[in-house]
Structure 1
Amino acid sequence: MPIAQAVPVAPPALRRPTRPAAEPILLSPPQLTGQEIHRLAATLESGWIAPAGPVPAAFEAALAPVLGLPQVLATASGTAALHLGYRVLGLVPGDEVWTATLTYVATIAPAVQMGARPRFLDVAEESWTLDPNLLERELARAARAGRLPRAVVPVDLFGQSCDLDAITALCDRWGVAVLCDSAESLGATRRGRPAGQGARLAAFSFNGNKIITAGGGGALASDDPALIAEARRLAAQAKEAAPHYQHETTGYSYGLSSILAAVGLAQLGALPARVEARRAIFARYQAGLGDLPGIAFMPEPDWSRGTRWLTALTLDPAAGAPGREAARLALATAGIESRPVWKPMHLQPAFRRAPRAGGAVAAQLFEQGLCLPSGSALGAAQQARVIGILRGLWNA
């Protein structure tokens, strides 16, 4: 058997240097203010780390003027806030809950888990949020049939408020409660009012990818102190006032820990700057890509000022653009995270039998829509990489 020959290896000094891979660009990573470590240290030194004590209360107090809603309960997640909202609105099995089909599953999942029947409504082209005209027709139809929903849940999408004024006016006409899912839109306004203000209840999220993060957590807010007091009781396992553990009903362990509340407190003051940063990122994308055929950005109605939490656009191959999935894969190959817009709920297998009204607008937005990296700290050079890769697809 021949003896294997050793393959000569170049000395280290003569090897061709390998080009380091470009640093990944994430969709919406958290950005720290530098104050988090001080808040955390003070909280740990105080001994309060559970969902109790001064820090969650301070976070709630700081949130109230930002939200424009005086009653605030900090919760373990935005989903927990929505669940509590459904509970205090008296949702029972068999009730109908209506929501925009273009949303994340957490909007409707707690209601379904409580035995409610979902109904999905299409969105308006001019806002990508719940269509008030469609809602009006559906409420009138339901009133004639004697089957109004227990709640309507409009969704603030990608940092843009829904037309909540029109939606609440319609629901008030028929006595239907509005629980606004504002998880994605802290800092957004419409007609000068904060996102969520005007609904019976509004839910917010401080998940790691949000414009302001606590590393998790959420909040339920309202003008109604009785609703938030009941939500607070349920969030603490529905314990009654007694020297022993007394329960007239069952609740949940949904309070926000002091640790996460401390992070949220450190973040909250940066909200105005974060809004301006993300709007500037959107403007750079618009300037760098807006001249290309077949591309359109998420519209901002004249009554709205969104945060542009995520820059969202559509790519229409019929008008000369690459397909959405081709663009996403090209970015992924370069280590750049992007994401299709939400897959509409009426297209999700979990809700294949749920009734709906319309859905064509949301379905087309999903087919063509893409969210680009939008983190508040996204640098100009990083953004130029994203823009350059996308522009290259038109010349391929």
Structure 2
Amino acid sequence: MELSKIWLSSPHMGGKEEVYVKEAFDTNWVAPLGPNVNGFENDIENYLEKEVYVGALSSGTAALHISLVLLGVQPGDEVICQSMTFSASANPIMYLGATPIFVDSETETWNICPDALEDAIKDRIAKGKKPKAIIAVHLYGMPFKADEILKISQKYEIPIVEDSAEALGSTYKGQKCGTFGDIGVLSFNGNKIITTSGGGALVTAKKEWKDKAVFLSTQARDNAPHYQHSEVGYNYRMSNICAGIGRGQMEVLDSHIAKRRSMNDFYTDLLRDNDAITVFKEPNEDYFSNHWLSAILVNPEKANGRTREDLRLSLEGKNIESRPLWKPMHMQPVFEKFPFYGSNVSETLFEDGLCLPSGSNLTSEDKTRIKDSIQSFF
């Protein structure tokens, strides 16, 4: 008998989602606008606990794309991007005909390295090409070194696009991720901490930027009785149906965060006495991660030559999904020709790192299978 699949991070409904979706059907609001969209945006604004404006869009990638448009990125410009991230962080740079400049990670948060970032900025300026923006990512829910990154941003007057796609609910010094950058980006993809099945949001302290984002994401239609367009627009607005799912999900967000963090504690306890394994944790009390995904590093020298890939295949054989860390963008065939600044931190993390099942809907039986499978491997 085949064992049931234990997923890395599957959607987890809370119960009220159907109420909001049914209301959309009952009132015939099935377009990419409507009361659920407005309500979902308000819910996020209230949750972030800062004076910000939120535009609900069709994906986090769409939000990243619109963010770069708002910052005036054009063909030939350069945009700095954290190398260790999902490709969606870098792809919108290419959409606009700009050049990505990749920067290495540091070892504490696995996010963009302040020293390598400043080296990259200085070198690009020396080459006569001041970067137009910095895309910094809160990897797996872990906040980046916000104080240091913001200081560099202000010193060189380069705006930050804060990719908080994986970090809704995470905080740095008590401030919610998504509110540090000039523009923040959230994702509600099916595997995120809450989901709208597919969706994202743009976060900004400037109402005019939120309004512009909504305008651009609804095909940039001018205020006229007929269809008139003075700018290139996009079909990026979130639907009222998806927003209804999001409204229900917002009601269980804190519960989902607690359960994800509990899974991280589970792995910490399980692997406490295994000196071949390092569990990814906050470096100090300034950081609060939602632990969207719990990740580990496997040291082959201390594991009798066994690697993270050996562990992944072992878990796969027991129908348990795990996944290597993001392959750095500067190692990807599509991006390898572009400049990279740093050392080999992100490459080493990719070589030794593994994401383990982290969902908020994992059962005690799932945990027992995971525990037994990992223990038997070692």
TM bracket, shorter-chain basis: over 0.9
Q: 2:326 aligns with which of 342, 348, 356?
A: 342
Q: 2: distance between equivalents of 1:138 and 1:329?
A: 37
List aligned pairs for 1:222-261, cutoff 5 A. Answer: 222-261=204-243
- Give yes or no for contact 1:105–1:345 (8 Å, CA) kept in 2: yes
Q: 1: distance between equivalents of 2:220 and 2:106?
A: 40
- Give yes or no for contact 2:119–2:341 (8 Å, CA) kept in 1: no
- 1:24 alignment partner AA: K
Quote the residue 2:293 is aligned against. 310
- Give yes or no for contact 2:137–2:163 (8 Å, CA) kept in 1: yes
SS in 1 for 2:202: strand
SS in 1 for 2:337: coil
Quote the residue 2:362 is aligned against. 378
- 1:249 alignment partner AA: E
- Give yes or no for contact 1:338–1:371 (8 Å, CA) kept in 2: yes
- 1:377 alignment partner AA: N
- 1:320 alignment partner AA: A
Quote the residue 2:24 is aligned against. 43
- 1:311 alignment partner AA: S
1:273 Cα offset (Å) = 1.1
- Give yes or no for contact 1:69–1:221 (8 Å, CA) kept in 2: no
- Give yes or no for contact 1:164–1:196 (8 Å, CA) kept in 2: no
Does the alignment pair 1:281 with 2:250? Answer: no
- Segments of 5+ residues of structure 1 without an aligned counterpart are 1-19
1:133 Cα offset (Å) = 2.1
List aligned pairs for 1:160-171, cutoff 5 A. Answer: 160-171=142-153
Does the alignment pair 1:34 with 2:51? Answer: no
1:69 Cα offset (Å) = 4.8
Quote the residue 2:34 is aligned against. 53
1:179 Cα offset (Å) = 0.5
1:256 Cα offset (Å) = 0.2
Does the alignment pair 1:319 with 2:302? Answer: yes
1:228 Cα offset (Å) = 1.4
List aligned pairs for 1:263-282, cutoff 5 A. Answer: 263-282=245-264
Q: 2: distance between equivalents of 1:365 and 1:173?
A: 29
- Give yes or no for contact 2:20–2:36 (8 Å, CA) kept in 1: no
Q: Which stretch of structure 1 is more off in the superposition, 136-145 or 276-285?
A: 136-145
List aligned pairs for 1:132-171, cutoff 5 A. Answer: 132-171=114-153
Q: Which stretch of structure 1 is more off in the superposition, 171-180 or 134-143?
A: 134-143
- 2:129 alignment partner AA: R
Q: Pick closer, same or farther for the CA change 1:338–1:238 going to 2, 3 Å.
A: same
Q: 1:63 aligns with which of 44, 54, 57?
A: 44
- 2:340 alignment partner AA: R
SS in 2 for 1:374: coil
- Give yes or no for contact 2:52–2:179 (8 Å, CA) kept in 1: no
- Segments of 5+ residues of structure 2 without an aligned counterpart are none
- Give yes or no for contact 1:128–1:298 (8 Å, CA) kept in 2: no
- Give yes or no for contact 1:43–1:258 (8 Å, CA) kept in 2: yes
- 1:58 alignment partner AA: G
List aligned pairs for 1:68-217, cutoff 5 A. Answer: 68-217=50-199
- 2:164 alignment partner AA: S
1:59 Cα offset (Å) = 0.6
- 1:315 alignment partner AA: V
SS in 2 for 1:367: helix
1:387 Cα offset (Å) = 2.0
Q: 2: distance between equivalents of 1:299 and 1:360?
A: 21
Q: 1: distance between equivalents of 2:339 and 2:21?
A: 47
Q: 2: distance between equivalents of 1:171 and 1:289?
A: 38
Q: Deviations over 1:5-63 (max 9, x none)?
A: xxxxxxxxxxxxxxx32221000011111111111111100111111121101110111
SS in 2 for 1:317: coil
- 1:312 alignment partner AA: A
- 1:195 alignment partner AA: C
Q: Pick closer, same or farther for the CA change 1:359–1:100 going to 2, 3 Å.
A: farther
- Give yes or no for contact 2:267–2:279 (8 Å, CA) kept in 1: no
Q: 1: distance between equivalents of 2:115 and 2:38?
A: 40
Q: 2: distance between equivalents of 1:300 and 1:93?
A: 38
SS in 2 for 1:135: helix
Q: Deviations over 1:108-159 (max 9, x none)?
A: 1011121110111111101101111221232233334442210000001111
Q: Which stretch of structure 1 is more off in the superposition, 245-254 or 295-304?
A: 295-304
Q: Which stretch of structure 1 is more off in the superposition, 250-259 or 284-293?
A: 284-293
Give percent identity, aligned residues only.
37
Q: 2: distance between equivalents of 1:255 and 1:69?
A: 22
Q: 2: distance between equivalents of 1:171 and 1:54?
A: 37
Quote the residue 1:16 is aligned against. none
1:352 Cα offset (Å) = 1.6
1:299 Cα offset (Å) = 3.1
- Give yes or no for contact 1:158–1:184 (8 Å, CA) kept in 2: yes
Q: Deviations over 1:214-236 (max 9, x none)?
A: 11100001001121111111001
Give me the TM-score of the superposition, normalised by structure 2. Answer: 0.97
Quote the residue 1:294 is aligned against. 276
SS in 2 for 1:342: coil
SS in 1 for 2:301: helix
Does the alignment pair 1:358 with 2:339? Answer: no
SS in 2 for 1:319: coil
- 2:300 alignment partner AA: P
